[in-house]
Structures are given as structure tokens and as C-alpha cells.
Amino acid sequence: MLLDGAHLVADAIAAGLTFQLAAVTPESSARLDIHPLVGALQSDAVEVMTVSASVMDAVSPVKTPSGIVALAECRVAEPDALYNGAAALVVLTVDVQDPGNLGAIVRVAEAAGATGLIAAGGSANPFGWKALRGSMGSSLRLPITTDISAADAIADARRRGCRIVATVPRDGRSLFAADLAGPMLLLIGGEGRGLPPELIDAADERITIPMQAAVESLNAAVTAALIVYEARRQRSTE
């Protein structure tokens, strides 16, 4: 995966990821936020190339390159890693195609204490550069898997004693009346279409975020944020 910027490179080093190579410009290599990263990479025998600004412009996917990019190996989690703890909270995204949205969901999932995330169906690659930037590094820490279908993920979660909770824009139980304290798999549908009917039918609970009648739905990342933080509130002992 392509890491662009000092923040993501630093997070990847802290997470113990394996790097293949990195590139910096002469100007950026002396910067206070980048110079220590170059040293850390070189101490791990990672090749760090010094490239011109024009080469960095070509390599970096962003409009204003940050001065450092790196290639690192993806760390796709095994299913067991997603269900650590007595009250697992795993987010299953289904057809969330916008990588910025998916990255934001990963970020809020980690922030709220979710134990893992599954990107299924037509969901964007959580390790693509846009999703990585949207996650602000959370994709490097939160256990994430992509090699499973939504139906198989639901069946696996059930075997592990989790309730299946689906989000629907209308006619579900109010978010604030739902019991989110126990182990659960939370299903978040894609932009526009939402969850497929067969997955909604397979859920143990269907929840709706209260909205004014004129509003049809909420952004997928906003939906995920409200629900995982309500789950955090219910599980909190403070």
C-alpha cells in the first residue's frame, strides 16, 4: 500500500509494518517531522531514495505532495483478531464505494472502541491511499479484513455469539432504544442503495437513526459514527 505523508509513515512505523521502500525530496529530508522517519526506516534496512520534486509530483497521488512516500505491506487481519474481548463490536461495510467514506468509518470505529472492521461486497479498498488518508492511520491499527463475503461474515459472527444489527433509514427500532451492549456485528450499507434486502432480512435487529421526515438518509460514515458511539456509551462503566 502507498503511504503518503509523514503522519501515515510514522503510524506505519509505530504499527510495525514491513516497508518495501520509501522516497523523499532533498528539501523534505531535513524537515523535523521527516528526518527522524528517514533514520528509522534506514535503521530497519529500508531503501530510502532521494528524488527530485518533479519525481515526487509523479509518485505522490495528492495535489500537494508532502515530501515523503513509502510502500508497505498490507496487514489483513485473520477473522479471530476482529472478535477480541467479551463484547466484540465489528463493523461490516457493504458496498461503501467511496474510499473517503470508508476511511472515515475505519477512523470512527477505532475511536469508539470497535474491535474490527470487514469491508465486503463492492466496498472500496481500505488500504487504498484515499481510504488510508481518510482513516488518519486507523487502518494501520484496527484489525481489518476484506477476504470474506457479507453472508459469510454474518454466519461467522453468529457462530461467535454476536447479534447481527442492520441499519435501515426507516421503520427500524430507534437507535436510542436498541440494546447495543453485547457482542454484535454492525452492518453499514453503501451510499444511496443502503443494505441489500437479503442482509436486512438476515439481521437480528434493524435500527434507525431518528431523522426529520424530509431527510431520506445520512452519510454512511455519519451513520456508523452515531451507532458505534451509542454502543460505546452503553458499554461504558464511567
116 phi/psi in degrees, rounded to 5: 180, 170
pLDDT value at residue 191 = 82
Residue at a domain's end among 49, 72, 95: 72
Q: Return the number of other C-beta atoms located less than 10 Å from residue 67's C-beta.
A: 21
Mean pLDDT of the chain: 93
Q: Which of 23, 45, 72 is the last residue of a domain?
A: 72
Quote the number of domains for the chain: 2
Structural domain ending residue among the three candidates 46, 72, 98? 72
Q: Determine how β-strand 68-72 pairs with β-strand 2-4.
A: antiparallel
Confidence at residue 187, expressed as pLDDT on a 0 to 100 scale: 98
- Rounded average pLDDT over 1-25: 95
89 with 205, same domain?
yes
pLDDT tens-place string over residues 206-233: 999 998 888 877 899 999 999 999 999 9
Three-state DSSP at 74 gives: coil
Residues 39 and 111 in one domain: no
Same domain membership, residue 230 and residue 113: yes
Provide the CATH number for the domain around residue 102.
Answer: 3.40.1280.10
pTM of the predicted structure, to 2 decimals = 0.92
Q: Could you tell me which of 223, 174, 214 has the C-alpha nearest to residue 195?
A: 223
**For 139-181, how does the pLDDT look when each residue is reduced to its tens digit (9 = 90+)?**
999 999 998 999 999 999 999 999 999 999 888 999 999 999 9
Do 87 and 17 lie in one domain? The reply is no
* Residue numbers of the domain that contains 54: 2-72
Q: Please check whether residues 116 and 161 belong to one and the same domain.
A: yes
- Whether residues 60 and 106 fall in one domain: no
pLDDT of residue 147: 87
b/e sequence 137-159, b meaning 16+ C-beta within 10 Å: bbbbebbbbbebebeebbebbee
- Same domain? For 67 and 83 the reply is no
| Span 87-94, average pLDDT | 96
> 193 and 130, same structural domain?
yes
- 47: domain CATH number is 3.30.1330.30
Angle among Cα 195, 209, 93 to the nearest 5 degrees reads 30
- 237 confidence band (pLDDT: 50, 70, 90): low
Same domain? For 110 and 55 the reply is no
121 by DSSP, 3-state: which?
Answer: coil
How far apart are the C-alpha atoms of 104 and 119, rounded to whole Å? 13
Q: Are strands 19-24 and 163-167 parallel, antiparallel or unpaired?
A: unpaired
Structure confidence by residue, pLDDT tens digits, 160-171? 999 999 999 888
pLDDT of 169 reads 87
Q: Which amino acid is at 55?
A: V
Residue 142: per-residue pLDDT: 96
Query: What per-residue confidence (pLDDT) applies to 193?
Result: 82
Could you give the CA distance from residue 211 to residue 196 in angstroms, rounded to a whole number? 21
Same domain assignment for residues 190 and 110: yes
Secondary structure of residue 197 in the 3-state scheme: helix
Do 168 and 201 fall into the same domain? yes
Name, in order, each residue with C-beta under 8 angstroms of 75's C-beta and a sequence gap of 6 or more. Answer: 15, 17, 140
CA distances from 147 to 21, 90, 121, 140, 233 (A): 26, 15, 10, 17, 31
Q: Are residues 49 and 64 in the same domain?
A: yes
